[in-house]
Amino acid sequence: MINREYLEKRDTSNEITELSTTEALAEAIENGLLVEVKQVIGQGKEAFVCWGIDKYERNIAVKSYKLYRTIHRGVIHGTHRTSPYEVIAQFAKLEYYKNLDLFEAKLPVPQPFKYAGFSYSMKLIGDEHGPAPLLRDLSKNFFDDPSEILEQCVDILYNMFKARYVHGDFSEHNLLWYEDQVYVIDFLQSKNFALKDAIGYGSPLVPLTRAYRILRKDLNSLLPFFKRLFRIEVDYNEVLNYIMGDFKEKIDRELELNLEISS
Ligand SMILES: Nc1ncnc2c1ncn2[C@@H]1O[C@H](COP(=O)(O)OP(=O)(O)O)[C@@H](O)[C@H]1O
Ligand SMILES: [Mg+2]
């Protein structure tokens, strides 16, 4: 039984224990995120993801955060560390809202449904037979024209940047292939950006120049995957310039300003 008293007791005791998968799913059921568990489909360091059915009989994915273990006491993903349980509850909520922003900007992301406790639910990319495969799990011969897949990925980055977002972990590990379309998931580390001057103290927005660095890193993991698996080579700077679109001038200007300040 997971209740506040129980968690507070865990919090104050010396040893902080992680919720087991069963406990986390019991909590998600209690909170009305799902009514039936089908299968655990992802098990990472920070979270696990489960395929289930909600009360409207929709196939959903529930992402549930595990305890955040760190000695770092500063701000994590814009969340001030209070209790470890509050931090992971914040993670679920933060990721839900970033996912929602991107969904509303019409990007190919799962529709988010609800957050509660340490979890949030979203539409399953896939169907009643199960989740769609990740790009990393597909073989080289799966696609007739793999360059089209790369184009889709680049378009996602372009449209995300236009919506003032960078993903931050854009790789074959977070891209799903379903009904001839690439879908992107996993948004906790995604950042919403703005011009430096427009950002007030304590704002969750990151400056455009930081977003630019994150975008470069994302491209540095995406392009080598296509080179390795499909032998597709494209010009890094050309793709980068394309994705930056109308922001390019602003980025150049802000990078120049940064140089002036630091020199
Ligand atoms: N909406 C979804 N539909 C289908 N599969 C999903 C969905 N969300 C997550 N998954 C699966 O769960 C795995 C883990 O999800 P992800 O959000 O990437 O968590 P992590 O932070 O652990 O990497 C993914 O690799 C994918 O296989
Ligand atoms: Mg992931």
Domain residue extents for the chain: 4-127, 132-262
User: Would you say residue 71 has pLDDT above 60?
Assistant: no
- Say yes or no to pLDDT of 37 above 70: yes
Query: Which of 13-17, 24-28, 239-243 shows the lowest mean pLDDT across its residues?
Result: 13-17
State whether the beta carbon of 122 lies less than 6 angstroms from ligand 1. yes
* pTM tops 0.85, yes or no: yes
State if residue 95 touches ligand 1 by the CB under 6 angstroms criterion: no
Average pLDDT (203-229) is 96
Distance CA 46, CA 166 (A): 20
pLDDT band at 79, cuts 50/70/90?
low
CB 138 within 8 A of CB 146: no
Does residue 114 carry a pLDDT above 90? yes
d(CA 139, CA 15): 44
Helix (H) or strand (E) holding 141: none
The answer to whether residue 72 scores a pLDDT higher than 90 is: no
Question: Residue 239: which pLDDT band, with cuts at 50, 70 and 90?
Answer: very high
**CB-ligand 1 contact for 251 (6 Å cutoff):** no
Cβ contacts of 195 within 8 Å, gap of 6 or more: 207, 208, 250, 254
Q: Probe ligand 1: pick from 40, 41, 181, max atoms within 8 Å of CB? A: 41
CATH number for 4-127 (one of 3.40.50.1970, 2.50.20.10, 3.30.200.20, 1.10.10.1800): it is 3.30.200.20
Would you state the pLDDT for residue 150?
Answer: 97
Q: Residues near 32 by Cβ (< 8 Å), separated by ≥ 6?
A: 55, 114, 116
What is the arithmetic mean of pLDDT over 137-160?
94
Q: Give the residue-averaged pLDDT of 228-250.
A: 94
Q: Is the pLDDT of residue 107 over 80?
A: yes
Q: Hey, whose CA ends up nearest to atom 19 of ligand 1?
A: 186
Atom of ligand 1 nearest to the CA of 187: 17
Query: Which of 6, 174, 200, 16 is CA-nearest to residue 95?
Result: 174
Which pLDDT value is given to residue 3? Answer: 65
Q: Which ligand is nearest to the CA of 188?
A: 1
Distance CA 91, CA 85 (A): 10
Residues in CB range of 119: below 8 A, 6 or more apart: 24, 27, 28, 31, 33, 62, 63, 64, 65, 92
Does residue 44 have its Cβ closer than 6 Å to ligand 1? yes
Record the tokens describing residue 37, joined without a space.
Answer: 């568990």
Looking at residue 67, its pLDDT comes to 81
Q: What is the token pair recorded at 200?
A: 């007030």
Task: Please report where in the chains the tokens 């059915």 appear, as a residue.
Answer: 53
The mean pLDDT value for 201-214 works out to 94
- Evaluate: CB of 131 within 6 angstroms of ligand 1: yes
Region of residue 76 (phi > 0: left; psi between -120 and 50: alpha; otherwise: beta) = beta
Helices (H) and strands (E) in the chain, counts: 7, 14
Q: Is the CB of 61 under 6 A from ligand 1?
A: yes
C-alpha dihedral over 63, 132, 99, 91, to 10 degrees?
Answer: 20
Ligand 2 centroid to residue 185 C-alpha, Å = 7
pLDDT for 43 beyond 60: yes
Ligand nearest to the CA of 129: 1
**Residue 52: CB within 6 Å of ligand 1?**
no
CATH class of 132-262: mainly alpha
Question: 47 C-alpha to center of ligand 2: Å?
Answer: 9
pLDDT at 241 over 80: yes
